[in-house]
Amino acid sequence: MAEPAIVAEHLVKRYGVLEALKDVSFSVPEGEVLGLLGPNGAGKTTAVRILTTLLRPDSGRAIVLGRDVRDDAARVRASIGLAGQNAAVDENLTAHENLRLVGRLTHMSTGDIKSRSDELIEQFSLAHAGNRLVRTFSGGMRRRLDLALALVHRPPVLFLDEPTTGLDPKGRTDLWTVIQRLVGKGTTVLLTTQYLEEADQLANNIVVIDHGSVIAEGTSAALKGRFGSTVIEVAFRDETAATTASERLAHVGTVARDGSRLKVSVSDGAPAMLETVRVIDGAHLEPTSMALREPTLDDVFLALTGHAAEEPPVEDDVSEADLARRGKHKTA
């Protein structure tokens, strides 16, 4: 069997007392997409920074296309592209100028830079804006340009750190299409995301991380199988009604009650919805709302960890107290 294109082996990274990665391992076979799924602060960017030579792990190994990122950083860099949450574009240059700059930095010939830049502008639907200053771009255009910049030197391995966070639904699906096209051409991709739906759409395999540890791993179908592929939400006027309903709905799926609201995780959405209606009607209970929806990362977290995906304080505001508290959290 061929060696995977990306290997993370027992990665550990500490920032002071905070253990951002605690023994994280995963691998990505050549030509596949791995979705690294986790909430804010899970350690996704830290893992990406290690794999892209920008950060040294305290222990563990990272290998890209057979090369150790520590011993062979320059050659690893030449074979990878990185597009991040904080788009690395120069606001005061045009799209074409940004692309040409990257071409020069990666030592491409003038002719190649020109043709590659035209090709990418076209491919990323930026033709109408190629000569406009980037500071006039929308968020979606900026992300597409950022991705284009990561591809100038035709890297076989691509790292995408939350490529669609902050984009509107249209911007998000547009970017998914672009990523799918790249994958179709054989690029190996490691993608981080906070959206289960995004990992579901793009990734062959999903690794779920929380507080620096891998808490689940598998195909989207396998993961969904563990917590149900559909969620039925029912709200009642009071807790008594919700409690009664939750007891009677136990055969429909996995029921979780939060006050007067119920969440039923099921694997067969439509028939389960029908049965839920029958049961509630049969019990003469009156729901105030009922909805059928796809599971979110929060549902996965609840199912896997028993707690919701929480938001830690923003990075710049980390106080000693926060660090101490979070240091404690990990052993809890």
Q: Which residues bind Mg ion (CB under 5 A)?
A: 44-45
Give ∠ CA 156-161-162 in degrees, rounded to 5: 130
CA nearest neighbour of 127 among 143, 139, 144: 144
DSSP assignment of 123-148, as one string? HTT-GGGTTSBGGG--HHHHHHHHHH
**Residue number with CB closer to ligand ADP (122 or 315):** 315
Q: Is 312 in the site for ligand ADP (CB under 6 A)?
A: yes
**Residue number with CB closer to ligand ADP (20 or 245):** 20
DSSP assignment of 52-117, as one string? TTSS--SEEEEEETTEETTTTHHHHHHHEEEE-SS----TTSBHHHHHHHHHHHTT--HHHHHHHH
* Structural contact between residues 134 and 149, judged by C-beta atoms closer than 8 angstroms: no
CB of 302 to Mg ion, least distance (A): 22
Q: Which of residues 92-121 bind ligand ADP (CB under 6 A)?
A: none
CB of 189 to ligand ADP, least distance (A): 17
In eight-state DSSP terms, residue 314 is P
Nearest-angstrom CA–CA distance, 33 and 56: 24
211: alpha, beta or left, given left = phi > 0 and alpha = psi -120 to 50? left
Q: Is 38 in the site for ligand ADP (CB under 6 A)?
A: yes
Q: Is 44 in the site for ligand ADP (CB under 6 A)?
A: yes
**Residue number with CB closer to ligand ADP (43 or 81):** 43
Question: Could you say which of Mg ion, ligand ADP, none residue 38 binds, taking C-beta under 5 to 8 angstroms by partner kind?
Answer: ligand ADP
Question: Percent helix, strand and coil across the chain, each rounded to 5?
Answer: 40, 25, 35
Question: Could you say which of Mg ion, ligand ADP, none residue 20 binds, taking C-beta under 5 to 8 angstroms by partner kind?
Answer: ligand ADP
Among 33, 42, 95, 214, binds ligand ADP (CB under 6 A): 42
CB of 222 to Mg ion, least distance (A): 25
Residue 49's SS3 state is helix
Q: Which of residues 11-30 bind ligand ADP (CB under 6 A)?
A: 15, 18, 20
Among 315, 324, 325, 330, binds ligand ADP (CB under 6 A): 315
**Residue number with CB closer to ligand ADP (18 or 108):** 18
CB of 96 to ligand ADP, least distance (A): 31
**Residue number with CB closer to ligand ADP (122 or 310):** 310
CB of 274 to ligand ADP, least distance (A): 39
Nearest-angstrom CA–CA distance, 55 and 58: 10
Among 4, 35, 41, 163, binds ligand ADP (CB under 6 A): 41
**Residue number with CB closer to ligand ADP (213 or 244):** 213
In eight-state DSSP terms, residue 153 is T
* Structural contact between residues 36 and 52, judged by C-beta atoms closer than 8 angstroms: no
Binding residues for ligand ADP, rule: CB under 6 A, are 15, 18, 20, 38, 40-46, 312, 315, 318
